[in-house]
Amino acid sequence: MNNENDLPMAEPPVEKMTEPCDAPKEWRPSNQETLREYEISIRFLNRGCVVRVGCKEIAFEDPTYAMAQINAYVNNPWEEQQKWRKILD
């Protein structure tokens, strides 16, 4: 006598992944959003200058180097913020 319990059960199909999943990317604001976050000001002194970004002030002996750092910040604000936070905090 065949009982329903006597029948072999079919296993559900197994989905195979052919490619590994990409890790979720960290959300980042756009460059414009990041640049609007903090006000930037430059105060030139007798020797060098002070660059203020938000509430942080950074003294530079060489204004040319300060301008290079500001340009790097404007071109890639998210990464530069991360770099300077490690230095200043």
- Write down the domain spans for the chain: 31-89
Local confidence pLDDT in tens for the 89 residues of the chain? 555 566 666 666 666 656 666 667 778 888 899 889 999 999 999 999 999 999 999 999 999 999 999 999 999 998 998 898 888 88
pLDDT of residue 28: 82
DSSP string, 29-80: --HHHHHHHS-EEEEE-SSSEEEEETTEEEEES-HHHHHHHHHHHHHSHHHH
pLDDT of residue 1: 52
Q: Structure pTM?
A: 0.65
pLDDT of residue 42: 97
